[in-house]
Structure 1
Amino acid sequence: MKKKLVVIACLGLIASLSACGNGGVGSETPAVDARIVYAIPSDPGNLDPQLTSVDLNREVGRLAYDSLVYRDGKGNPVSGLASSWHVGENESTFEITPGVTCSDGSAFTADVAAQNLRFMIDPHNGSPYASSFPAGTTVSASASTVTIKTPTAPAFLLVNLADIPMVCAAGLQNRGRLASATDGTGPYVLSDFKTGSSYSFTRRDDYKWGPNGATTAEKGQPKTVELRIVANETTSANLLVAADVNIAVMSGSDGDRLLRMPNLFHKNQQVLRGLIAYNEANGRVTQDEKVREALSRAVDFDAAMKIITGGRGEVPTSLLAVTPKVCPENTVSGNLAARDVNLAKSLLDNTGWVAAGDGKRAKNGKQLSIDILTPSYAGKAYTDGAEYIASQWRDLGIDVAVSAVPSAQLNDRLFKTADFDVSLVGTGERTPNQNSQYFFGKTPPNGTNFASFSNPTYDQTVQGKPQVDTAAECARWNTAEIALFKEYSLIPFANVDVPVFGNKVTFDIVGNYLVPTSLRAVS
């Protein structure tokens, strides 16, 4: 669930500090000694790439881990750890690229790939990637071929596999070490870290099996990428302007001034920035559908969208924002509650949450209180948006607290303790069945159904037979999404193009992730 990664850099710290002067995009410089300091807004905590649902952690992991396949900018599958593949109705095969090695020098084989997939498919392991495969999926390996057998070929199989990181044998055998070390086939390997401060990754010079055969031998490929924790987005923007920062993701209003600077390189990420989720667990006030409807009808979500996106947002068309969308249909229009404050008050009255003389609502002597959980690392605009929503609920007589927390704490409160009433956390999944990890199945700490959703229509879709045809599969999931909206479980209200700026560096973004092999130091 959703993220944003801020990247800052100062080039040439190994060889020469002259690269840290002012200026924007220029000519390429040799890769040999280039260094990029890549700032993230909070400490990712546990680095295990197969046990996280936080997009910040996932993007960090892409430096060190590869997928079987990747997608290009148009959404087409291209080679990765697999050089070729065949997707059938019940059986799909993947041929492992010859010569792939892990950062420890061991070979990455079809058997290791199969072990990865079996780990993630097994629901007992708690991997969020389990939702990428239908029930009954099996995986086997023979020589250099991985075989995935499914009840029917999911229409989104290749898209899902493009997001799934593969761990090497040593990491699979000693999973605990992955919390603070990397063991992958990716273009970089973690070489040093200081908790709460920085994580340094060093380039693998033998790497040649990236997306569509990308290597690290290209001119301008930085040797070192240091992830440095910079919590304040305005600070990152100022560092970027001063050329002490090479890349910065601007989620809030700071992006507006940077867009006016012609010397800066930038690309956009399409993000579902505003998504309200109500916790429906037993004992939560938001378990009551009428309370959820009241809260939904009380908010001016258009105004909230403008705040949270710095005025650059638009109304979402579905729970998918990453382009190109595998399901382009609009499931939002006409399926969300219209604002009606008077009806919101009446709904609360009818559920027994009655306003007293001081305007505060209570039932059986207990005050109506709600906690909004939101990421602190997403920037001031995000927190301001949460505070605006809180103010609209306070006007109803509700006691509302906003908890803006860093990445590791957000992950714990969503997926370990489920300690919140309302979450304001965007999602960044690419397919509807990837999203199902959050809205179906076991609840924390045994699963990732973080808000204890239990919607018959949605549940039937998850458990139903996947379709081979993409349009038919999208139709199934579109109906399921609408069912969640109709029961006021989810309120998607803000999409935005988030600019990712570069100074003295260029890069590509595919599927909302920065492509590590595309990093180019320039002067």
Structure 2
Amino acid sequence: MPKPSLSRRSLAAAAVLALGSAAAAPAAAQNLTIGIGGSPTSLDPHFYNASPNISLTMHIFDRLVEQDARARLHPMLAESWKAVSETVWEFKLRPGVKWHDGRDFTAEDVAFTVARVPDVPNSPATFAGFVRAIQRVEVVDPLTVRFHTAAPHPLLPVDLASFQIVSKHAGEGASTEDYNSGKAAIGTGPYRLSSYRAGDRTEFVRNDNYWKGPEPWARLSYRFMANDASRTAALLAGDVDMIDQVPSNDLARMKRDPRVTVSEIQGLRLIYLVPDYSRGEGTPPVFVTDNDGKPLPKNPFLDPRVRRAMSVAINRDALAERVMEGTAKPNGQWLPEGVFGYNPEVRVPPFDPDGAKRMLAEAGYPNGFRMTLTTPNDRYPNDARTAQAVAQMWTRIGVRTEVDAIPWAAYSARAARQEFNMRLVGWGSSTGEASYMLVNIFGTFDRERRWGSANNSRISDRELDALTERASSILDDEKREAAQREAVKMATDRTLVIPLFQLVNSWALRKGLTYDARMDERTVAMGVRPAR
């Protein structure tokens, strides 16, 4: 098997474990309960490219290629892979793998999955970008599959590590609701579905015939707990064994608590602000008015001077220190230092409120305007608090901003319909390189080409698209990274989005357990082990 194309780049930051001296958990404790802060919206592994959904479905479904806690590639359902020509990749599948219903996993399941990924109805953000390069899937034999691409695509193994494989026999004709009901939720993964209650909890039982060997936990309860205080209290009371998104105001106390182990790592998720680009010059924007409450004749966010003004009006150090309480690092791009494609020339935008006022005046808004900033209130750590702080900073430069904080389930559906003029959102570059955001967020939305699959703001920059496409086809690692760095600078110079900070991912567990902290922020039972 060849080394993955990113193997020469260290993916930065080792996990920091707050290890204690307590004894390991009792052998009888074979059940695990996890409390999560993000809300999964479906058991369909291809419905929504969002971290809570992916974390949940990883317990049921496997991928061809695995990404470990530090975003490094390893074999999973595929034992090995190689490029047999510039436009053909061959993957050898693992023999003896069974679906939960006892049927054999084969190359037909892989071909079925690739065809299904871009074709899930009503998806708020699809996985289509990961199969955009694949023109044809060739089933050579039950354990060999070849992927044909129109041009060289060195990142195909990375793409195939980004979505889960479903069974053809259970998935043919199945809707998202069939997965939610459990009818089609038949995977090859370490756990079988017991029950699913949307917005509440999912119960699993161990797959004792899992091809990697059984997990230590006979039963898994995976619970959605949006309230930070309730999540912390549940851990300290022993109602759950682990929580993610440890509240920033509890983190220091949790690290000192002898009953608790904290696991941390620098994450790949950027929290950022993005305006709506779907309303052009002749279409008045929603939730934006002049100071008298009258609709503006055009969308102010189409002017890069307005976007730059609003960016430099933000004190990112204050957000990281006061709102996030040290659990985030200010950034001017979407990658943390050390990740493939990170551009050291792109700095954190300076805090310059006076300069922001001048830019607004130059753009024709000397008195500013009124607007609404929409944010989820149960998706990211301190999401609503961050939005409130930004709103105060914007109001000081004359852009009087109100905050609308709503639950993630409603937010995600409305964002997909372009109902917000400015919103706070996060994106985790789980592939460990720059093209993931370049293709899916910055790429001009094109359902046929499978570009911009999560571009709900309808960003469109054809010059950036062309550079992204060129970078994605470069086989040489160093040249490809140079092209990605150029694209990173282009996107940030044009202020297509307004980056705020990179999250530090944290989990807290009862003493006696450890967690392999993940850069991609996935919260999975497969990373939890009794302490030795």
Q: Same fold (TM over 0.5)?
A: yes
CA distance in 1, matches of 2:270, 2:249: 14
CA distance in 2, matches of 1:25, 1:172: 50
Aligned position for 2:289: none
- Spell out the pairing of 1:403-482 with structure 2 (5 A cutoff): 403-415=404-416, 417-429=417-429, 430=431, 431-435=433-437, 436-442=439-445, 447-464=453-470, 466-482=473-489
Deviations 1:27-51 (A, max 9, x none): 25447x7222222235422222112
Task: Check if 1:484 corresponds to 2:491.
Answer: yes
Alignment-mate amino acid for residue 481 of structure 1: V
For residues 72 and 273 of structure 1, do their structure 2 counterparts lie closer, same or farther at Cα, with a shift above 3 Å needed?
closer
Task: Check if 1:342 corresponds to 2:350.
Answer: no
Q: Is the 8 A contact 2:24 2:513 kept in 1?
A: no
CA distance in 2, matches of 1:277, 1:349: 21
Task: Check if 1:287 corresponds to 2:307.
Answer: no
Count of residue correspondences: 477
* SS of the residue 1:352 aligns to: coil
CA distance in 2, matches of 1:286, 1:204: 51
Task: Check if 1:501 corresponds to 2:504.
Answer: no
Deviations 1:50-85 (A, max 9, x none): 121211111111111100011345654322111222
Deviates more, 1:77-86 or 1:54-63: 77-86
Under a length normalisation based on structure 2, what TM-score does the superposition of the two structures give? Answer: 0.81
Q: Is the 8 A contact 1:295 1:393 kept in 2?
A: yes
CA distance in 1, matches of 2:181, 2:265: 28
Alignment-mate amino acid for residue 157 of structure 2: L
Q: Is the 8 A contact 1:47 1:61 kept in 2?
A: yes
Deviations 1:474-522 (A, max 9, x none): 2222211211211111232312322212114333244433453343356
Alignment-mate amino acid for residue 300 of structure 1: N
CA distance in 2, matches of 1:125, 1:151: 28
Deviations 1:151-186 (A, max 9, x none): 444333323322211111212431331244323211
Aligned position for 2:320: 305
Deviates more, 1:498-507 or 1:479-488: 498-507
For residues 234 and 332 of structure 1, do their structure 2 counterparts lie closer, same or farther at Cα, with a shift above 3 Å needed?
farther
Note the C-alpha offset of 1:377: 3.1
Q: Is the 8 A contact 1:29 1:522 kept in 2?
A: no
* SS of the residue 1:386 aligns to: helix
Aligned position for 1:148: 147
Note the C-alpha offset of 1:109: 0.8
Deviates more, 1:58-67 or 1:511-520: 511-520
Note the C-alpha offset of 1:462: 3.2
Note the C-alpha offset of 1:120: 2.7
Q: Is the 8 A contact 1:280 1:288 kept in 2?
A: no
CA distance in 2, matches of 1:402, 1:506: 38
Q: Is the 8 A contact 1:71 1:511 kept in 2?
A: no
Under a length normalisation based on structure 1, what TM-score does the superposition of the two structures give? Answer: 0.83
Task: Check if 1:325 corresponds to 2:339.
Answer: yes
Note the C-alpha offset of 1:125: 9.1
Alignment-mate amino acid for residue 137 of structure 2: V
Q: Which runs of 5+ in 1 are unaligned?
A: 1-22, 209-213, 356-360, 363-367
Alignment-mate amino acid for residue 311 of structure 1: G
Aligned position for 1:4: none
Alignment-mate amino acid for residue 346 of structure 1: R
Q: Which runs of 5+ in 2 are unaligned?
A: 1-19, 286-299
Alignment-mate amino acid for residue 209 of structure 2: D
For residues 501 and 337 of structure 1, do their structure 2 counterparts lie closer, same or farther at Cα, with a shift above 3 Å needed?
closer
CA distance in 1, matches of 2:305, 2:83: 45
CA distance in 2, matches of 1:235, 1:54: 23
Deviates more, 1:71-80 or 1:496-505: 71-80
Task: Check if 1:166 corresponds to 2:165.
Answer: yes
Note the C-alpha offset of 1:316: 3.1
Task: Check if 1:244 corresponds to 2:258.
Answer: no
CA distance in 2, matches of 1:99, 1:342: 66
Q: For 2:205, which of 191, 202, 206 is the aligned residue? A: 202
Task: Check if 1:183 corresponds to 2:192.
Answer: no
For residues 103 and 70 of structure 1, do their structure 2 counterparts lie closer, same or farther at Cα, with a shift above 3 Å needed?
same
Q: Is the 8 A contact 1:87 1:153 kept in 2?
A: no
Q: Is the 8 A contact 1:45 1:408 kept in 2?
A: yes
Task: Check if 1:51 corresponds to 2:60.
Answer: no
Note the C-alpha offset of 1:460: 0.8
Q: Is the 8 A contact 2:200 2:223 kept in 1?
A: yes
Q: For 1:351, which of 363, 370, 376 is the aligned residue? A: 363
Alignment-mate amino acid for residue 128 of structure 2: A
* SS of the residue 2:427 aligns to: coil
Aligned position for 2:57: 61
Aligned position for 1:97: 94
Q: For 1:228, which of 218, 223, 229 is the aligned residue? A: 223
**Identity over the aligned pairs, expressed in percent?**
23
Note the C-alpha offset of 1:348: 2.4
Note the C-alpha offset of 1:24: 8.5
Q: Is the 8 A contact 1:24 1:265 kept in 2?
A: no
CA distance in 2, matches of 1:122, 1:468: 29
Q: Is the 8 A contact 2:440 2:454 kept in 1?
A: yes
* SS of the residue 2:226 aligns to: coil
For residues 104 and 441 of structure 1, do their structure 2 counterparts lie closer, same or farther at Cα, with a shift above 3 Å needed?
farther
Q: For 1:81, which of 77, 96, 102 is the aligned residue? A: 77
For residues 73 and 236 of structure 1, do their structure 2 counterparts lie closer, same or farther at Cα, with a shift above 3 Å needed?
closer
Alignment-mate amino acid for residue 325 of structure 1: V
For residues 42 and 168 of structure 1, do their structure 2 counterparts lie closer, same or farther at Cα, with a shift above 3 Å needed?
same
Task: Check if 1:117 corresponds to 2:114.
Answer: yes
Aligned position for 1:14: none
Q: Is the 8 A contact 1:193 1:199 kept in 2?
A: yes
Note the C-alpha offset of 1:113: 0.7
Note the C-alpha offset of 1:427: 1.3
Aligned position for 1:253: 249
Note the C-alpha offset of 1:389: 0.5
CA distance in 1, matches of 2:75, 2:36: 28
For residues 30 and 140 of structure 1, do their structure 2 counterparts lie closer, same or farther at Cα, with a shift above 3 Å needed?
farther
Q: For 1:41, which of 37, 40, 58 is the aligned residue? A: 37
Note the C-alpha offset of 1:200: 0.8
CA distance in 2, matches of 1:74, 1:494: 19
Task: Check if 1:382 corresponds to 2:402.
Answer: no
* SS of the residue 1:330 aligns to: coil
* Poorly superposed stretches of 4+, deviation over 4 Å: 28-31, 73-76, 121-127, 443-447
For residues 330 and 151 of structure 1, do their structure 2 counterparts lie closer, same or farther at Cα, with a shift above 3 Å needed?
farther
For residues 350 and 370 of structure 1, do their structure 2 counterparts lie closer, same or farther at Cα, with a shift above 3 Å needed?
farther
Task: Check if 1:520 corresponds to 2:529.
Answer: yes
* SS of the residue 1:488 aligns to: coil
Note the C-alpha offset of 1:246: 1.2
CA distance in 1, matches of 2:172, 2:390: 43
Note the C-alpha offset of 1:390: 0.3
Q: Is the 8 A contact 1:289 1:487 kept in 2?
A: yes
